[in-house]
Structure formats: structure tokens, C-alpha cells
Amino acid sequence: MHVWEEIRVSPETGARSLVEAYSERLYRLAYRLCSNAAQSEDLAMRTFARAVKATGRFDSEAAYFSFLCTILANLYRDDLRLKAANALVLMECVPEKEDERPDPAASLIARSDAEAVREAVARLSPVLRETVVLRYYGGMSVSDISKALVAPEGTVKFRLSEARRKIREFLTQRNVDIER
């Protein structure tokens, strides 16, 4: 039985199943958006609460995570509007994947590169950061992001292109500064 079907049959049991199935992925996505553990937990829990209420309209397993991401993105944007929090710092404490390479120098370079990318993403405007997080960390397609953000696909593609350009500029500038 799918989670949304379970919610229809027994909202309480279904809600527990929903949280068990998606809490880790949704929390990570929320954290990449707002970079605060408490806010991320709150955002994920509010997403689950809204999803339980809206699940009656849902009937496809393949797009269920996209459905949750859409709710999360909408709640995040609502929070930005309400709090006027346009200066978010993203991914300061995102755990890094352990490097299995035996070469310590290569490991140090990889960590430095990952930190540079996190810093570059953090410098993006909230609109570009949100689009990048949904695409590259949430694994959403351009079409799903378009629906989640209520923006044309062309706009989503432009935002992704603009974000990549700005990240590339930041990384290039960072490398020039390091070489000096």
C-alpha cells in the first residue's frame, strides 16, 4: 500500500509511515534551503502536516516526493516573505561524504572544492539558491521544479544556467585570489 493510500485509510498510521519514509530526505532538502537545524525540522514537519491534508488529491507514487518538495518550497517561500530573510547562509554544516581515497592530498583538495561549491551556492540569491537546491540536491526535474515554483520551464532553465554561471564566476575568482 502506498503512503498516500495509507493516509486515506488511517490518517494517524499513514502520517507515521509518511514521516518514516521521507523524513531524512525532506529534512536534508530543508536544511539546504535554510541552513538551520531547528528551522529545517519545523519546515519538514509543516510539510508533512500539509501533505497529510492534501494527500486525498494524489494518486501517483513516482511523483510523490516531488509533491512533497513542492509543498516544502512553498512553505519556504512563505517563510521568506513573512520573515524577510533574504540573507540566508546555506549549508555551513552539511556533513561531507567521507573520502575513501588513500591519498591525503587528494582528499584535502576534494574537501576544499566541496566547501568552495557550498560557499558559492550560499552566495546565490534566494530564488537561484532554491532552484539549485531543488534540482541538484532534491533531484527534481526541470518540469517538476517548474510546477513547484509556479514558473515556466524556460524560467527554471534560465535560473539554473544563471546559477551555474555565478557559481563558476565565484570559483574562478576564488582560484585567482588563492594564486595571488
What pLDDT, in 10s, does the model give residues 79-123? 877 664 333 344 444 445 554 545 555 555 556 677 778 888 888
Q: What's the number of domains the chain is made of?
A: 1
Of the candidates 87, 89, 79, 81, the residue with the CA atom closest to the CA atom of residue 36? 89
Whether 94 contacts 118, CB under 8 Å? yes
Q: How far apart are CA 69 and CA 148, in angstroms?
A: 7
Q: How far apart are CA 134 and CA 129, in angstroms?
A: 9
- Tell me the per-residue pLDDT of 20-71, one tens digit each, with 9 for 90 and over: 888 898 898 888 888 788 888 999 999 888 888 877 666 666 577 888 888 8
CATH number at residue 74: 1.10.10.10
Q: How far apart are CA 51 and CA 126, in angstroms?
A: 24
Which residue would you say has higher pLDDT here, 176 or 148?
Answer: 148
Query: Which amino acid belongs to residue 163?
Result: A
Residue 6 has pLDDT above 50, yes or no: yes
Of the candidates 161, 155, 143, 162, the residue with the CA atom closest to the CA atom of residue 69? 143
Whether 153 contacts 142, CB under 8 Å? yes
Q: How far apart are CA 16 and CA 22, in angstroms?
A: 10
- Domain containing 94 equals 3-179
Residue 5 has pLDDT above 80, yes or no: no
CA 88 to chain centroid: 14
